[in-house]
Structure 1
């Protein structure tokens, strides 16, 4: 029985613990350099801008006038700037990079983002992501009825029986 427990520990628990080990100081330093190179704060701000199609859609659903839409946008902006812990999020992203990539890979990414193509990618990818999100929302909107039909059937099927 002792051998079984040891085998279980070695086979399942240790690999899981190793997978979630803290990244090395060297990895964190390389990830921080990458974050500085890509201007992570600016990238996060661009992520907020990518939310605007969703805010526009909500504004349309609520039938807001220009003043109401401006107020809604400000509500989201205040939430993003005042409520979200930007420093914590950036630290978590740096850690995620450090956990995901080796120091050599992080250095390679940093080198790439310092090239003209890398700089262009940093500039245009947020806009591409925003437009892509809008395309996805537009397509989803045209197929919303098909989803509602499936959801209604699912809900009906799983209703509690009295």
Structure 2
């Protein structure tokens, strides 16, 4: 059970909120950004309901994990406390502002904000978690369907490799 919980904790971290799905693993040190660029990034994140989406993502991940393995239910408060401590909006807001400011121009951020305020933009934001979850499910299903092929290829490759000696 202990190994499973550690593995699950690692999996939860990897599956952390969708708002950070494309963020680099080790973000560059915060660079000074202009007040107007900062404001544009903050507005884009606010209009995109990033704070709510992060909280919802944490809730969904924990619910999914406890549904898949009811034994984990007792540990849910520990995971929730951990995520609130290290992955909550209050903790990662500045990192996300820096990320958006690094990846988009001020003009692009303002256009993004305008788009998110349209009916189609609101729908895109609303559907994004569903689309991302569906995409992950498709990927998982494909991997499971073809896992024997991968295992066979790995086994064949290992057979053809000369034995290694550990010194």
Q: TM-score, normalised by structure 2?
A: 0.65
Q: Which moved more, 1:98-107 or 1:42-51?
A: 42-51
SS in 1 for 2:164: coil
Contact 1:50-1:129 within 8 A present in 2 as well: no
The CA deviation at 1:160 is: 1.0
Contact 1:50-1:133 within 8 A present in 2 as well: no
More helix by percentage: 1
The CA deviation at 1:93 is: 1.3
Alignment-derived partner of residue 124 in structure 1: 127
CA deviation vs aligned residue, 1:93-141 (integer Å, no higher than 9, x gap): 1111111111111000000101111111111111111122112111111
SS in 2 for 1:143: helix
Question: Residues of 2 paired with 1:159 and 1:32: CA distance?
Answer: 55
**Higher-RCO chain (CA-CA 8 Å, sequence separation at least 6):** 1
Question: Residues of 2 paired with 1:51 and 1:152: CA distance?
Answer: 33
Alignment-derived partner of residue 90 in structure 2: 87
Alignment-derived partner of residue 48 in structure 1: 58
Alignment-derived partner of residue 142 in structure 2: 139
- After superposition, where does 1:1-162 map in structure 2 within 5 Å? 22-48=32-58, 51=61, 55=65, 59=68, 64=69, 66=70, 68-71=71-74, 73-84=76-87, 86-156=89-159, 157=161, 159-161=163-165
Structure 1 residues 102, 141: closer, same or farther in 2, change over 3 A?
same
Structure 1 residues 154, 110: closer, same or farther in 2, change over 3 A?
same
Question: Residues of 1 paired with 2:119 and 2:89: CA distance?
Answer: 28
Structure 1 residues 109, 71: closer, same or farther in 2, change over 3 A?
same
Report the aligned-residue RMSD.
Answer: 3.0
Q: TM-score, normalised by structure 1?
A: 0.67
What is the count of residue pairs matched by the alignment? 136
Question: Residues of 2 paired with 1:33 and 1:155: CA distance?
Answer: 52
Unaligned runs of 5+ in 1: 1-19
